[in-house]
Structure 1
Amino acid sequence: MQHPLLIDCETLQKRLGQPGLVILDVRGRAAYEFGGHIPGAVHSTWHEYSDPDAVAKGLLDPDLKRIEKRVQALGINQDSEVVIYSNPFDNWGDEGRMFWMLEYLGHKNLKVLDGGWVKWIHERRPFEHGAVRCAPGNFVVAPVESAIIMKNELKGIARKPNPTTTIVDARSLEEYLGKEISGIPRPGHIPGAVHVAWSGFLNADATVKDLAAINAQLDLKGLNPAHETICYCTGGVRSAWLYFILRLAGYQRLRNYPGSWWEWSRDFACPVEKDLLALQKLLGLSESQVPTGMRPS
């Protein structure tokens, strides 16, 4: 698909080594250094920007100067063009998380490599091993507050729904309905949230589906591009990929909740809904097979 927020593999290969271009690999460190990476690509993952003191892993480090130094260490300048890639079939939407984070931090020239590492290697394009070192950039953080939402504000929205605000849950349907997940104190979803799985927007070659297909899926869920749309998942990663997909589809009033269910489920003042009958049906369980504590009352 042709889109200002995407770049295809052929175009990127022709531009390798171009001044002002920063290619950012957001896969794991071992995959980057030992499995190979696009020539000249620097490496960073979303975990490096998380709040070191928070239990909820998705929350951003509140020390924005520390984040700024980390971003500068990647060679990113104010006017850099940043191309982000990952392995779309072997992550949780990490390229979307990095896109959202950099957009929130105020960077204005971001793209995602369509098809990522999967398509790059399938087409036998050049790669190299080892870490890439670069001179620090001059990027200055200027947060775009309209791109983020925090727990207390979202709690107010959940308690007093607004007809022009849509909360979207990007997790699996099982998680949304209330499946017990290890490490999560309370299963379920934010009351009134619409379920839109993050994983349904790629073609078999890891490229993003065309806009007609994306919009058809969003229309089925009742999403409205004129509404404020708030995305969440478990830790703000899958939801950030959905944020990116919605950006492709032309949604302008978008916010991501980085703390997401890791944080929400730990605050017992935050309301939670479940649909255990639907979950039971989805899992193909009879009532006798459902643990007592999970049975609808």
Structure 2
Amino acid sequence: MRFIIFLLLIAGLFTACQEKATKVTAQEPIISSNLSAEKIMADNPVILDVRSPFEYNLAHVPGSINVRWEDFSEQSPEYRGLLLSDLWNVARRLSLIGIDPDTKVVVLGKGRQGNGEEGRIAWTLQVLGVRNVITTVHTSYRELNPKEESEGIKNKPYWKPVVDESLRIGLDDFKAYAFQELPEMKSMSRARSKALGGLPPGALDAPVASLFGMNFNDAKGKVVIVDVRGPQEFAINNLTKIKGVKAPVVNIEWREFFNDKGLPNKEVEKILAAKGVTKDKIVMTISNHGVRSASAVYALRSMGFRQSLNYAGGYEQWK
């Protein structure tokens, strides 16, 4: 009898140590623009600090981890906006700092004084299936000090990412919607084809349209491209100056999407609506190399723009 009880205890321990199934929900949390520090720090989140190592070493929240958006992106200059192709390896690295799909993560940065780095990290985590992510400004770090002393980083079991392809768009697909011409499906990657249910070459629907349950012709009429760079950058060069671009292109600087606390700014919805960007549209964002545009998509998704995507390659890859 004792032997049987011993076996049952061992089985229970083994089950408890098994890796949890990756969960990806279809809806993003609506993040309030006046979220309190107490609520941000509830549930003992993993805290990522995206500032420079120098700034991090000067002052940081106890227990926070210093990361850079480049840590998860390609290294070659023309592709540096793209995420690393081996996302399984990225997920393993995240597990070593205590992050899995069910982990609450707070990303600290410089907010509107920075370049959207915290939003880029938040978007990266969401692409991998980590949904409970909040960005905020590091200047409030005294308010964000953990109430209890940190026990240090606790590793999580390795997990396989369930990639949310609806958060990003590649160069070929982006050009197809910019020029409003059906793309050649032969260029579709195996990963994207698999994510879309194995669409064969020559399928009638372009990839993004399929993700949102539309055909290409219906989708292209709903597309609007939001260039989130500053007005001066936009004035010097933008997609409207490229021959053949037919999709509407508007300029709304990424800083408009965040308030002074680094949280998504609901007031930007008025600016978006005035330029014809509503929640029924497919919103494709672009910046120089996918950092500020990723930040904008993070904010858009948190405000209910379910059909917003980041063109991570940006102008650097386009040219």
- 2:261 paired with 1:261: no
CA shift in 2, pair 1:8/1:227, >3 Å: same
Q: Report the alpha carbon displacement of residue 200 of structure 1 after superposing the two structures with TM.
A: 2.1
- 2:114 paired with 1:91: yes
Letter in 1 for 2:124: M
Question: Per-residue displacement from partner, 1:22-51 (whole Å, max 9, x unpaired)?
Answer: 11111122222x122112212211100111
Distance between the aligned counterparts of 2:87 and 2:63, measured in 1?
A: 27
CA RMSD of aligned residues (A): 2.5
Aligned to 1:287: none
- Counterpart pick for 2:46 among 9, 13, 22: 22
Aligned to 2:89: 66
Distance between the aligned counterparts of 1:209 and 1:44, measured in 2?
A: 21
Letter in 2 for 1:10: E
Letter in 2 for 1:63: D
Letter in 2 for 1:101: T
Letter in 1 for 2:139: V
Letter in 2 for 1:120: Y
Contact map agreement 1:92 1:237 (CA 8 A) in 2: yes
Given the two structures, how large is their TM-score scaled by the length of structure 2?
0.68
Aligned to 1:145: 165
Letter in 1 for 2:138: W
Aligned runs of 1:127-276 on 2, under 5 Å? 134-138=153-157, 139-160=159-180, 162-177=220-235, 179=236, 187-189=237-239, 191=245, 192-203=248-259, 205-208=260-263, 211=266, 213-265=267-319
> Please, which runs of 5 or more residues in structure 2 have no aligned partner?
1-28, 182-219
Letter in 2 for 1:142: V
- 2:38 paired with 1:10: yes
Letter in 2 for 1:5: I
Question: Per-residue displacement from partner, 1:196-231 (whole Å, max 9, x unpaired)?
Answer: 11122444x4354752x2221111221011111111
Given the two structures, how large is their TM-score scaled by the length of structure 1?
0.73
Q: Report the alpha carbon displacement of residue 75 of structure 1 after superposing the two structures with TM.
A: 1.2
Q: Report the alpha carbon displacement of residue 54 of structure 1 after superposing the two structures with TM.
A: 5.4
- Total equivalences in the alignment: 241
> Please, which runs of 5 or more residues in structure 1 have no aligned partner?
180-186, 266-297
Q: Report the alpha carbon displacement of residue 135 of structure 1 after superposing the two structures with TM.
A: 3.3
Letter in 2 for 1:50: S
Distance between the aligned counterparts of 2:86 and 2:262, measured in 1?
A: 35
Question: Per-residue displacement from partner, 1:236-278 (whole Å, max 9, x unpaired)?
Answer: 111112112212321001111111111012xxxxxxxxxxxxx
Letter in 2 for 1:206: K
Q: Report the alpha carbon displacement of residue 100 of structure 1 after superposing the two structures with TM.
A: 0.9
Distance between the aligned counterparts of 1:89 and 1:12, measured in 2?
A: 19
Distance between the aligned counterparts of 2:102 and 2:179, measured in 1?
A: 41
* DSSP-derived class of the 2:105 partner: strand
Distance between the aligned counterparts of 2:306 and 2:252, measured in 1?
A: 18
Question: Per-residue displacement from partner, 1:50-72 (whole Å, max 9, x unpaired)?
Answer: 11345332111112222122222
Q: Report the alpha carbon displacement of residue 120 of structure 1 after superposing the two structures with TM.
A: 3.3
Distance between the aligned counterparts of 2:65 and 2:86, measured in 1?
A: 23
> Which protein shows a greater Rg?
2
- Counterpart pick for 1:44 among 43, 52, 67: 67
Question: Per-residue displacement from partner, 1:95-141 (whole Å, max 9, x unpaired)?
Answer: 1111111111111222223xx112335x6x648xxxx9623323431
* DSSP-derived class of the 1:199 partner: helix
